[in-house]
């Protein structure tokens, strides 16, 4: 199965429903995961630093035009408190994520990055949207290690439909991803599965794109409709046979195939996956290719307001509760908690 997998094979496996064949897929993905990144599950503490956003993504609950949510922006000391908590809880990385919020200034973020790097042993990942090049340069110079920017779909027509550009600006996420690699960030990207209008054919292209970009991290989760967004009510979908469903098994097939295509990548078992199967979504992701989880560090008073999709898992838990919960889940499936920063394993250096 491995080594020979081209786009046509990926497409066929994406649509596979035979339980015996799927068992082979799960097993292969799990073996490739163990052989390449081992049994350690690395924890990345997520800091949701602001829910302000200047963008109007058709799927996202914190889009500019959602007037129904209360906006917040963390201060530097809020973020530093989350970083200390990450150290206390034994995490190797913090991920500072927010809407595309220019209230989080270039200098403000650079200062936070410098302080975290000086005061803790943490790796710092940023996930702050399509920021100008000067910001990305400055933050890398300040010591940021990684940047996450999902391309969401490689179908450019669908992409444009769900990502209205900022006035007068045409951003291309692939250009930004290339630039991030050039700046020396470890780069993460990813997709949503089951976006209205997403077809099996473009999904196969998405997975091939992961390999082409040689991504360090690849996040894959189901699309979850948010009622206060354009895609939340009666969106345009592809014809019945072509439309990708946003169900758990389809997400798991994507994760498993991604592990086989990109054996050394860091692949999270996402909160969105845990949201559509609260009992065991997290574990299923880890058992079918994933090796990362991103426990939430955001203080509960802010966390409830970072509702990119509804009924998000972990919304009412504290950082400590998520730490305990995930440690339990990881041990229960016979895996260990990673130590250190959990950088990408690379056989061949770029
Ligand atoms: N359903 C699922 N995932 C979503 N994201 C944003 N909105 C939704 C939604 N409604 C994902 C996007 C984004 C990441 C931070 O969260 O893929 O890149
Ligand atoms: Fe947050 Fe389980 S990870 S409650």
- Asked if residue 163 is part of any domain, the answer here is yes
Confidence check: pLDDT of 101 > 90? yes
**What pLDDT does residue 124 have?**
98
- Asked if residue 2 is part of any domain, the answer here is no
**What pLDDT does residue 28 have?**
98
Query: Cα(319) to centroid of ligand 2, in Å?
Result: 8
Confidence check: pLDDT of 27 > 70? yes
Selected residue with higher pLDDT from 219 and 234: 219
Provide the percentage of residues in the chain whose pLDDT is more than 70: 98
Query: Cα(118) to centroid of ligand 1, in Å?
Result: 31
Supply the CATH number for residue 38's domain. 3.20.20.70
Confidence check: pLDDT of 329 > 70? yes
List the single range of 155-159, 246-250, 313-317 with lowest mean pLDDT.
313-317
Across the range 231-249, mean pLDDT stands at 91
Ligand 2 pocket test, candidate residues 280, 322, 331, 332, most atoms within 8 A of CB: 322
Ligand positioned closest to the Cα atom of 232: 1
Per-residue pLDDT band at 3 (split at 50, 70, 90): low
Q: Containing domain of residue 66, as a range?
A: 7-334
Across the range 235-261, mean pLDDT stands at 94
Ligand 2 pocket test, candidate residues 314, 318, 330, most atoms within 8 A of CB: 314
List the single range of 217-226, 293-302, 334-343 with lowest mean pLDDT.
334-343
Q: Which residues form ligand 2's pocket by a CB distance below 6 Å? A: 295, 314, 317, 321-322, 325-326
pTM: 0.95
Ligand positioned closest to the Cα atom of 327: 2
Query: Cα(132) to centroid of ligand 1, in Å?
Result: 21
**What pLDDT does residue 343 have?**
83
Ligand positioned closest to the Cα atom of 282: 2
- Asked if residue 322 is part of any domain, the answer here is yes
Query: What's the chain's average pLDDT?
Result: 94
- Asked if residue 129 is part of any domain, the answer here is yes
Q: Is 219 in the pocket of ligand 1 (CB under 6 A)?
A: no
Per residue, the 3-state secondary structure of the chain, as one string, reads: CCCCCCHHHHHHHHCCCCHHHHHHHHHHHHHHHHHHHCCEEEEEEEEEEECCCCCCCCCCCCCCCCCCCCCCECCHHHHHHHHHHHHHCCCCEEEEEECCCCCCCHHHHHHHHHHHHHHCCCEEEEECCCCCHHHHHHHHHCCCCEEECCCECCCHHHHHHHCCCCCCCCCCHHHHHHHHHHCCCEEEEEEEECCCCCEHHHHHHHHHHHHHHCCCEEEEEECCCCCCCHHHCCCCCCCCCCECCCCHHHHHHHHHHHHHHCCCCECECCHHHHHHCCCCHHHHHHHCCCCEECCECCCHHHHCCCCCCCCCCCCCCCHHHHHHHHHHHHHHCCCEECCCCCCCCCCCCC
- Asked if residue 18 is part of any domain, the answer here is yes
Across the range 186-211, mean pLDDT stands at 97
Query: Cα(283) to centroid of ligand 2, in Å?
Result: 12
- Asked if residue 298 is part of any domain, the answer here is yes
Confidence check: pLDDT of 13 > 90? yes
Across the range 132-143, mean pLDDT stands at 98
Per-residue pLDDT band at 79 (split at 50, 70, 90): very high
Interval 264-305: pLDDT, tens: 999 999 999 999 999 999 999 999 999 999 999 999 999 999
Q: Is 309 in the pocket of ligand 1 (CB under 6 A)?
A: yes
Ligand positioned closest to the Cα atom of 280: 2
Across the range 23-31, mean pLDDT stands at 98
**What pLDDT does residue 86 have?**
97
Per-residue pLDDT band at 348 (split at 50, 70, 90): low
Query: Cα(272) to centroid of ligand 1, in Å?
Result: 8
- Asked if residue 344 is part of any domain, the answer here is no
Query: Cα(298) to centroid of ligand 2, in Å?
Result: 12
**What pLDDT does residue 240 have?**
84
Per-residue pLDDT band at 235 (split at 50, 70, 90): confident
- Asked if residue 340 is part of any domain, the answer here is no
Ligand positioned closest to the Cα atom of 297: 2
**What pLDDT does residue 4 have?**
78
Query: Cα(3) to centroid of ligand 1, in Å?
Result: 31
**What pLDDT does residue 341 have?**
84
Of ligand 1's listed atoms, the one at least distance from the Cα of 225 is 10
Domain count within the chain: 1
Selected residue with higher pLDDT from 266 and 234: 266
Ligand 1 pocket test, candidate residues 221, 270, 275, most atoms within 8 A of CB: 221
């Amino acid at each position: 199965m491995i080594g020979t997998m081209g786009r046509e094979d990926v497409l066929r496996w994406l649509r596979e429903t035979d339980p015996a064949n799927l068992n082979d897929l799960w097993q292969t993905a799990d073996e490739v995961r163990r052989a390449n990144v081992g049994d350690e599950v690395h924890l990345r503490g997520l800091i949701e630093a602001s829910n302000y956003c200047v963008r109007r993504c058709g799927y996202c609950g914190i889009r500019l035009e959602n007037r129904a949510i209360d906006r917040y922006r963390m201060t530097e000391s809020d973020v530093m408190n989350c970083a200390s908590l990450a150290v206390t809880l034994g995490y190797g990385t913090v991920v500072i994520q927010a809407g595309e919020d220019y209230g989080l200034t270039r200098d403000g973020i650079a200062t936070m990055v410098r302080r975290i790097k000086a005061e803790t042993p943490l790796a710092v990942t940023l996930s702050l949207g399509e920021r100008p090049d000067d910001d990305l340069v400055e933050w890398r110079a300040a010591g940021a290690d990684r940047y996450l920017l999902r391309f969401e779909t490689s179908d450019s027509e669908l992409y444009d439909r769900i990502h209205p550009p900022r006035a007068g600006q045409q951003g291309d996420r692939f250009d930004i991803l290339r630039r991030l690699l050039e700046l020396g960030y470890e780069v993460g990207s990813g997709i949503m599965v089951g976006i209205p209008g997403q077809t099996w054919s473009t999904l196969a292209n998405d997975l091939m794109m992961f390999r082409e970009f040689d991504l360090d991290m690849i996040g894959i989760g189901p699309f979850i409709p948010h009622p206060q967004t354009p895609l939340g009510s009666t969106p345009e979908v592809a014809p019945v046979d072509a439309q990708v469903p946003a169900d758990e098994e389809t997400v798991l097939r994507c994760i498993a195939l991604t592990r086989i295509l990109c054996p050394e990548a860091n692949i999270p078992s996402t909160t969105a996956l845990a949201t559509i199967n609260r009992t065991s979504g997290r574990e299923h992701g880890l058992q079918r290719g994933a090796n990362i989880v991103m426990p939430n560090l955001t203080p509960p008073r802010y966390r409830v307001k970072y509702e990119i999709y509804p009924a998000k898992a972990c919304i009412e838990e504290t950082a400590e509760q998520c730490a305990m919960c995930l440690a339990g889940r990881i041990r229960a499936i016979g895996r260990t908690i990673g130590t250190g920063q959990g950088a990408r394993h690379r056989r061949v250096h770029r």
